[in-house]
Amino acid sequence: MPSDRKENITRKLWRSHVFAFVASAAGVAGLTAIIQALHLDASVANVSMLYLLVVMLSALYLGRGPAIWASLLSFLSFDWFFVTPRYTFNVQGLAEWLALGMFLLTAMVTGQLTALLKARAMDAKRAQHETAVLAESSWAVASRLDTNSALLEVVRQVARVVDLQMAVVTSIDDDSKARLAAVDTLDTALSADRQKEIQELSCQLTEKLAATTDPLITLPDRFENRWSELPKEGAVCLQIAMNEKLLGIVYLQFGAGSTILTEQRHIIDSLVNHAAVILQRDNLMKRQAKAAALADADRLKTALLSMVSHDFRSPLTSIKASVSALLAEGEPLTAETQRGLCQGIELEADRLNSMVGNILDLSRLEADAWKPRFESTAVTELIGMALDLFNSDCNSRIIVSLDPCLIELYVDPVQMVQVLKNLVENALKYSNPDTRVEIRGSVENGSAIIDVLDRGRGLPSGEIDHIFEPFYRAEELQETSVPGVGIGLAVCRGLVEAHGGHVAAGNRPGGGAFFRVTLPLEQPTEAGDDNS
Amino acid sequence: MKVLVIDDEPQIRRALRAGLERSGFTVMAAASGEEGLDIASTHPSDLVILDLAMPGTDGFEVCKELRKWSKVPIIVLSVRASEEDKIKALDLGADDYLTKPFGVGELLARIRAVLRRFSAAESDSAESIFKSGDLEVDFPHRQVTVSGQPVHLTPKEYDLLKCMIEYRNRVLTHRHLLTKVWGAEYADDTHTLRVHMANLRNKIEADPTRPRFIHTETRIGYRFRTDE
């Protein structure tokens, strides 16, 4: 198959050459016929000039070889037809010889000069094109931060220089695994199987290259490196490297029968260097993101440790104290005291359980491992489930008022109940037991709004922006006896944002705080089907 | 009444034994799934309390094995945020579940509900009138009243209510309710169930945000609670 193609290409090339020579010969013959027919040699002083015209045209449109060919033919025709004695190649006298010689020389020189000029003009045009290609490519490198689209743009510039069927750029991950960075199929004629094959080949090769100790030298025989020659299948595989480090490869599948000139190779090499810059930048950005995530995790860990030392220890202390009081020897405790101590233990245990639950929720959220599972849920059902988690004393403090327009929400019921529970718990905790907590549901500007309102001490101004941050607790509340940690609200924010909504908080006129959850009313499109 | 407790935590076995014996149960305890199956096959019990997370033979396997030859009611203990585990255990034949940590009071309520249903099925005696709070259901006449006012229920709503009262205080999975009321071919049509349940709630609950009877067990099903 490749040898067939090669033959085909040679034949095509040969045919175009033959055509050029035939065309220039035909030009000369045509001109001779016209001069003969119109007897121009009688009226025009120097018909040889007309032959020079044909030579120039040949040089301009057919190339150097045909121009020489036309000069020779013109010389012979002129001699045969128009130099006396006519219809012989005999020439009389030195002057005629000289004139003919001069004609041949002039024709040759004119032809070559014209051809040279034409080549120069072509060169200039190509240089201009190449400059434009490189400029656009470097613009893409500089302006497109998205690796895939920047690489695609570079590939598109390659396609402007050569006939490209398909390009595959692979990059190497930190664990030496190849990853498809960009794939562009410019020629739709390429079969899907072939496309897949090329992609797989690229990945295999990239991994093979990454595994070798000296990737810039060793290459499997199937591919060619650095343009040693065009491979049999009309494709090249170029390494993308920077500072002697292999970043990936680019596989270029050229159109059938295309040839790659040295200038084109140079420009493709430059474009590959652009790809190297893009991949290098991608690596650096990834490393930066990883470092930031690590720093985040570290911060969380520190906060968690300080929390365990304070917030976990205080319920544990009271449990330990109560239990040891129950176990202590000496005067027997009254039944009432025993009961009080046991109730205290149960309360503290519940508190610890709730804290552990919140920490687990937060870590699942931070690890992005708790995706909402959306289903249509009645708002009354949501609130009912949340209120169910509080005892009757707490429930008697809670008022619910619902806008009749707010019927159903498309949410994860488990997560939304958790949000409501944390907000209500927070409101109950930071307000006096004789005040009310209100849950108010309404619809505003196409969004569902759920407010949790209390008449507590309100939020310290200037700290409103921070209360949804993990482990935050208002400055003045720290080291006080009010239990809990700034983790419930962080969980709320995480969950609501995962639903495409947002949380807000502030102080109410007349005292107390409000916490507002805003949720989109319409189903998020990416949420998928109701799969409950 | 004999209860078999299968849990690998000695402190939980001790606490459950103390709590259950105070309420008049005889408690047998097993520290592993294997031991639990051993005891269950040699000493008949009236109820099994089974921890799902155990090393070796876990609660799911015990449940599956037990159900091969026994109809003894099983209550499984599971951790929070694991609906899948709960559904799996219920599908394997467990009768109800309890989320850890739990109080003995909750456990006793679950035990009572499971045993009530079990003995009702044994004696095959259908009650004729159910009454709890404002709600009264007269089964022979298919009549439902709330605070003395008759409430009109559609046939499906009535069947749902009847099924839930029959299994009151016990979890009823979506699948169970759908199969019982609509038939096996509708077992996965949770949307229909949700719509009917919302309508039923509106008819028999005074305040749907504070349901007295019909409680939702997210992703699992419903529980009809009464004070008994």
The one-character DSSP state at B195 is H
Q: What is the pLDDT of residue A393?
A: 87
CA angle A54, A60, A63 (to 5 degrees): 100
Of B81, B194, B209, the CB nearest to A380: B209
User: Is the CB of A384 less than 8 angstroms away from the CB of B211?
Assistant: yes
Q: What is the pLDDT of residue A472?
A: 64
User: What residues of chain B lie within 8 A of the CB of A388, using their CB?
Assistant: 215
For residue A152, which of A174, A168, A163 has the smallest C-alpha distance? A168
Enumerate long-range contacts of A432-437, CB under 8 Å, 24 or more apart.
A432/A456, A433/A397, A435/A397, A435/A512, A436/A397, A436/A398, A436/A399, A437/A397, A437/A398, A437/A399
3 state DSSP class of B165:
helix
**Domain finish residue from A261, A287, A313:** A287
Pairwise CA distance, residues A515 & A426, whole Å: 10
Residue A60 lies in a domain: yes
Query: CB contact, 8 Å: B216 with chain A?
Result: yes
Question: What's the maximum distance between 2 C-alpha atoms anywhere in chain A?
Answer: 154
Average pLDDT, chain B: 89
User: What residues of chain B lie within 8 A of the CB of A402, using their CB?
Assistant: 209
Of A376, A380, A413, the CB nearest to B218: A413
Determine the residue of chain A that is closest to B199 in CA distance. Answer: A378
User: Does A315 lie in the same domain as A278?
Assistant: no
Of B191, B194, B209, the CB nearest to A384: B209
User: Does B48 lie in the same domain as B10?
Assistant: yes
User: Does B112 lie in the same domain as B136?
Assistant: no
Give the CATH number of the domain where residue B197 resides. 1.10.10.10
User: Does B219 lie in the same domain as B176?
Assistant: yes
User: Does B168 lie in the same domain as B193?
Assistant: yes
Any idea of the CA torsion for B22, B23, B26, B31, to the nearest 10 degrees? -70
| Domains held by chain A: number | 4
User: Does B206 lie in the same domain as B184?
Assistant: yes
User: Does A384 lie in the same domain as A523?
Assistant: yes
Quick one: tokens of A462?
A: 């200037």
CB A166 within 8 A of CB A198: yes
Instruction: Give the number of A-B residue pairs with CB atoms closer than 8 Å.
Output: 48
Pairwise CA distance, residues A525 & A452, whole Å: 28
Determine the residue of chain A that is closest to B193 in CA distance. Answer: A532
Report the half-sphere exposure of B92 (CA within 13 A, side-chain side): 21
User: Does A65 lie in the same domain as A76?
Assistant: yes
Q: What is the pLDDT of residue A250?
A: 84
Pairwise CA distance, residues A237 & A224, whole Å: 6
User: What residues of chain B lie within 8 A of the CB of A383, using their CB?
Assistant: 209
Q: What is the pLDDT of residue A147?
A: 84
Pairwise CA distance, residues A384 & A407, whole Å: 13
Give the CATH number of the domain where residue A442 resides. 3.30.565.10
Q: How would you class A180 by CB atoms within 10 Å of its CB: exposed for 0-12, middle for 13-18, buried for 19 or more?
A: middle
Question: What are the pLDDT digits (tens) for B76-130?
Answer: 998 866 788 898 999 899 999 998 888 888 899 999 999 887 777 666 556 788 8
**Domain finish residue from A287, A307, A338:** A287
Q: What is the pLDDT of residue A137?
A: 87
Q: What is the pLDDT of residue A230?
A: 43
**Cis, bond preceding B101 (omega within 30 deg of 0):** yes
Question: What are the pLDDT digits (tens) for B27-80?
Answer: 999 999 999 999 999 999 999 999 998 888 999 999 999 999 898 999 999 886
Determine the residue of chain B that is closest to A532 in CA distance. Answer: B219
User: What residues of chain A lie within 8 A of the CB of B83, using their CB?
Assistant: 414
Pairwise CA distance, residues B208 & B226, whole Å: 16
User: Is the CB of B208 less than 8 angstroms away from the CB of A395?
Assistant: no
User: What residues of chain A lie within 8 A of the CB of B218, using their CB?
Assistant: 385, 413-414, 417
User: Does B182 lie in the same domain as B117?
Assistant: no
Beta carbons within 8 Å of B188's beta carbon, 6+ residues apart = B175, B178
User: Does A516 lie in the same domain as A431?
Assistant: yes
User: Does B10 lie in the same domain as B96?
Assistant: yes
Give the CATH number of the domain where residue B114 resides. 3.40.50.2300
Q: Which domain holds residue A475?
A: 362-527
User: What residues of chain A lie within 8 A of the CB of B198, using their CB?
Assistant: 378, 381
| Domains held by chain B: number | 2
CB A506 within 8 A of CB A513: yes
3 state DSSP class of A520:
strand
Of B201, B211, B218, the CB nearest to A417: B218
Of B80, B83, B208, the CB nearest to A384: B208
User: Is the CB of A376 less than 8 angstroms away from the CB of B194?
Assistant: yes
User: Does B140 lie in the same domain as B113?
Assistant: no
Q: Which domain holds residue B68?
A: 2-123
Residue whose entry in the numeric block shows the structure tokens 């699948």: B175
For residue A519, which of A427, A373, A416 has the smallest C-alpha distance? A416
User: Does A105 lie in the same domain as A11?
Assistant: yes
The one-character DSSP state at A344 is H
User: Does B107 lie in the same domain as B7?
Assistant: yes
Residue A353 lies in a domain: no
The sheet that has B2-6: what strands, in order across it?
A: B26-30, B2-6, B47-51, B74-79, B96-100
User: What residues of chain B lie within 8 A of the CB of A395, using their CB?
Assistant: 210
User: Does B101 lie in the same domain as B32?
Assistant: yes
User: Does A407 lie in the same domain as A263?
Assistant: no
**Domain finish residue from A287, A316, A338:** A287
User: Does A180 lie in the same domain as A114?
Assistant: no
**Domain finish residue from B123, B142, B163:** B123
User: Does A148 lie in the same domain as A277?
Assistant: yes
Pairwise CA distance, residues A64 & A58, whole Å: 8
Gap from B114 CA to chain A (nearest CA, Å) = 21
Q: Which residues pair with B51 in a beta bridge?
A: B77
User: Does A437 lie in the same domain as A403?
Assistant: yes
User: Does B113 lie in the same domain as B146?
Assistant: no
User: Is the CB of A532 less than 8 angstroms away from the CB of B190?
Assistant: yes
Residue spans of chain A under pLDDT 70: 1-9, 45, 187-188, 212-233, 257, 307, 471-486, 523-532
Residue A356 lies in a domain: no
For residue A199, which of A249, A246, A159 has the smallest C-alpha distance? A249
Query: CB contact, 8 Å: B106 with chain A?
Result: no
Give the CATH number of the domain where residue A258 resides. 3.30.450.40
Q: What is the pLDDT of residue A446?
A: 85
User: Is the CB of A414 less than 8 angstroms away from the CB of B191?
Assistant: no
